[in-house]
């Protein structure tokens, strides 16, 4: 079978099986219109969906029959016990629970009742693990990002000319990134014992994988002119990189660090599930006890934390660029 046409362009397999339609124009020239790939793509996707449904036991009937269960749980999550003022509390502060209206928020006693509910809710117990989550992710991100920079430099082909070492380092980074954080955390929890130290280590390893990859990709795109000039002056690789390339990559590096911190806060919140400290322990415990109002409290505080950190980091990243 002819694989190349007259112009030396390699004809794709698809066009060799399904011959292009040849249109003859009015002036006698002929134009080949390749057949549409759409039927093939759609057919493949449908076949894969069918196979996936078989493999996962997908059954919409279960959702139809038991779906309301989900909304029962969801409505409990969305009435967290921090804001759920009970009738007894109202009576305790001298208010009539039956006569409540929107206007009662102007009543000082309503605020006292709310404050009392908050203090007696699950919220005060959440603070410790919440701060642990922040600590783990800040420390893990910082150390991880620091270690990632030299690794990224060693992985970029324009600075490290040794092909073999670049390939091996990149393979290692790939392996680190493919392992789910929860699995790494579980292994570290077994090695270092339960607690925040294992979580910090897991986040550190994960951060190295992510930042080193993003960094070597951006180091490879920088302008190498200054670096070469420094080398021709007799500077060694480290000096040349430090004075010529550092200025170029620093803003990108810092914004990647902030981005990693954002991701790590989210990741750290579930690490406790395998015993690596932080909010995950509480989430696991609340769900185990089917205390969905308590779970709602945990999630609301996590939500506030994530949104705050995200806004802070977006503000800083805007300043950087």
Nearer to other proteins, 136 or 244 (CB): 136
Distance CA 146, CA 151 (A): 9
Nearer to other proteins, 27 or 56 (CB): 56
Nearer to other proteins, 35 or 135 (CB): 135
Nearer to other proteins, 2 or 68 (CB): 68
Nearer to other proteins, 95 or 209 (CB): 209
Residue 72: CB minimum distance to other proteins, A = 9
Nearer to other proteins, 80 or 90 (CB): 80
Instruction: Using the structure block, give the residue that is written with the tokens 């015993």.
Output: 275
Per-residue three-class SS string for the chain: CCCECCCCCECCHHHHHCCCEEEECCCCCEEEECCCCHHHHHHHHHHHHHHHHHHHCCCHHHHHHHHHHHHHHHHHHCCCCCCCCCHHHHHHCCCCHHHCCHHHHHCHHHHHHHHHHHHHCCHHHHHHHHHHHHHHHHHHHHHHHHHHHHHHHHHCCCCCCCHHHHHHHHHHHHHHHHCCHHHHHHHHHHHHCCCHHHHHHHHHHHHHHHHHHHHHHHHCCCCCHHHHHHHHHCCCHHHHHHHHHHHHHHHHHHHHHHHHHHHHHHHHHHHHHHCCCCHHHHHHHHHHCCCHHHHHHHHHHHHHHHHHHHHHHHHHHHHHC
Residue 243: CB minimum distance to other proteins, A = 14
Nearer to other proteins, 121 or 277 (CB): 277
Residue 222: CB minimum distance to other proteins, A = 21
Distance separating the N- and C-terminal Cα atoms of the chain: 54
Where do contacts with other proteins occur on this chain (CB under 8 A)? 45, 48-49, 51-59, 62-63, 66-67, 69-70, 73-74, 77, 131-132, 134-136, 138-139, 142, 174-175, 177-183, 186-187, 190-193, 195-197, 200, 266, 269-270, 273-274, 280, 283, 287, 295, 299, 302-303, 306-307
Nearer to other proteins, 52 or 79 (CB): 52
Residue 175: CB minimum distance to other proteins, A = 6
Residue 19: CB minimum distance to other proteins, A = 23
Residue 259: CB minimum distance to other proteins, A = 14
Residue 212: CB minimum distance to other proteins, A = 15
Residue 95: CB minimum distance to other proteins, A = 30
Q: Are 301 and 214 in contact (CB under 8 A)?
A: no
């Amino acid at each position: 079978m002819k694989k190349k046409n007259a112009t030396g362009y390699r004809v794709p397999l698809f066009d060799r099986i399904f011959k292009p339609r040849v249109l003859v124009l009015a002036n006698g020239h002929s134009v080949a219109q390749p057949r549409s790939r759409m039927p093939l793509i759609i057919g493949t996707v449908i076949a894969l969906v069918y196979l996936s449904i078989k493999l996962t036991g997908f059954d919409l009937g279960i959702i139809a029959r038991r779906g309301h269960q989900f909304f029962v749980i969801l409505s409990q999550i969305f009435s967290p016990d921090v804001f759920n003022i009970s009738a007894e509390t109202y009576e305790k502060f001298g208010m009539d629970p039956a006569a409540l209206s929107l206007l009662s928020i102007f009543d000082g006693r309503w605020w006292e009742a709310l404050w009392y509910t908050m203090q007696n809710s699950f919220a005060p117990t959440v603070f410790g693990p919440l701060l642990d989550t922040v600590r783990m992710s800040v420390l893990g991100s910082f150390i991880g990002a620091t270690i990632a920079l030299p690794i990224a430099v060693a992985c970029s082909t324009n600075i490290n000319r040794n092909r073999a070492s670049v390939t091996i380092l990149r393979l290692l980074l790939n392996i680190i990134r493919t392992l789910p954080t929860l699995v790494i955390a579980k292994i570290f929890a077994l090695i270092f014992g339960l607690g925040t130290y294992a979580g910090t280590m897991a986040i550190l390893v994960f951060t190295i994988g992510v930042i080193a990859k993003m960094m070597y990709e951006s180091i490879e795109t920088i302008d190498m002119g200054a670096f070469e000039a420094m080398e021709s002056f007799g500077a060694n690789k480290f000096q040349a990189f430090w004075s010529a390339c550092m200025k170029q990559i620093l803003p990108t590096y810092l914004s990647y660090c902030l981005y990693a911190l954002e991701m790590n806060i989210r990741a750290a919140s579930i690490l406790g599930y395998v015993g690596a400290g932080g909010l995950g322990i509480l989430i696991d415990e609340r769900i185990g006890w089917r205390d969905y109002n308590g779970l709602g409290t945990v999630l609301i505080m996590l939500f506030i934390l994530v949104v705050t950190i995200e806004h802070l980091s977006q503000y800083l990243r805007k300043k950087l660029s």
